[in-house]
Structure 1
Amino acid sequence: MDLQDYLTAIVFGTIIGVVARIVLPGRQSIGIIPTVLIGMGAAVAGTWAADRWELHSDNLFTVTGRTFDWAVVGVQVGIAVVGVAIAAVLAKTFTTDRDSD
């Protein structure tokens, strides 16, 4: 992987994390950095899972010269939604409610 691949992963991971927060109902009390990290992890995990289970489609799209598969993106967003949900639950669990004092 070269520098451009890493930059693409960061940008794509950010988009996937934001999409996951939009898809997930309710308000999540996590910041932008965990959202981006979850999105980046989901991009890697989704790519691995799609390759592992041979989940590919003929529906492709191209962004700045790179081609992406809609099926793989769907798996990535699904993993990101689960990751954001887990992070939101953990954030709520470990955050103290100061209004109840």
Structure 2
Amino acid sequence: MEIAGIISAIVIGIVIGVLGRLVVPGRQHIGILLTILVGIVAALIGSAIANAFDVADTNGIDWIEWLIQIGLAALGVAALDRSTAHR
């Protein structure tokens, strides 16, 4: 992967992580770095799932892929919030 691909994955991960965090109701007790990390992982896994279902490359904006990624980020943020809340 080239440096441009890594930078774009980080930027997309930030956006996905923040959107996923906004979807989860209430206050989350995880930091911004974990949110970004969850977003990057959700973006990569969401892209793989969208490719598997052949909905990744559509004409215009890939809304289904974005929804999958944001949903995965929301699940990741909620899971991390629950795991850190009991500490």
SS of the residue aligned with 2:86? Answer: helix
TM-score by length of 2: 0.91
The corresponding residue for 1:12 is 12
The corresponding residue for 1:64 is none
Task: State whether residues 46 and 65 of structure 2, in contact with CA within 8 Å, keep that contact through their aligned partners in structure 1.
Answer: yes
Cα distance in 1 between the residues matched to 2:33 and 2:51:
27
Please give the residue correspondences for 1:29-48 in structure 2 after superposition, counting only pairs within 5 Å: 29-48=29-48
Greater relative CO, 1 or 2 (CA 8 Å, sep 6+): 2
Question: Which of these two proteins has the greater Rg computed from alpha carbons?
Answer: 1
The offset of 1:30, in angstroms, is 0.3
Structure 2: runs of 5 or more not aligned: none
The corresponding residue for 2:28 is 28
The offset of 1:75, in angstroms, is 0.6
Cα distance in 2 between the residues matched to 1:88 and 1:47:
24
Structure 1: runs of 5 or more not aligned: 62-68, 95-101
Task: Count the aligned residue pairs.
Answer: 87
RMSD: 1.4
Instruction: Letter of the 1:21 partner, please give it.
Output: R
Work out the percentage of aligned pairs sharing the same amino acid. 38
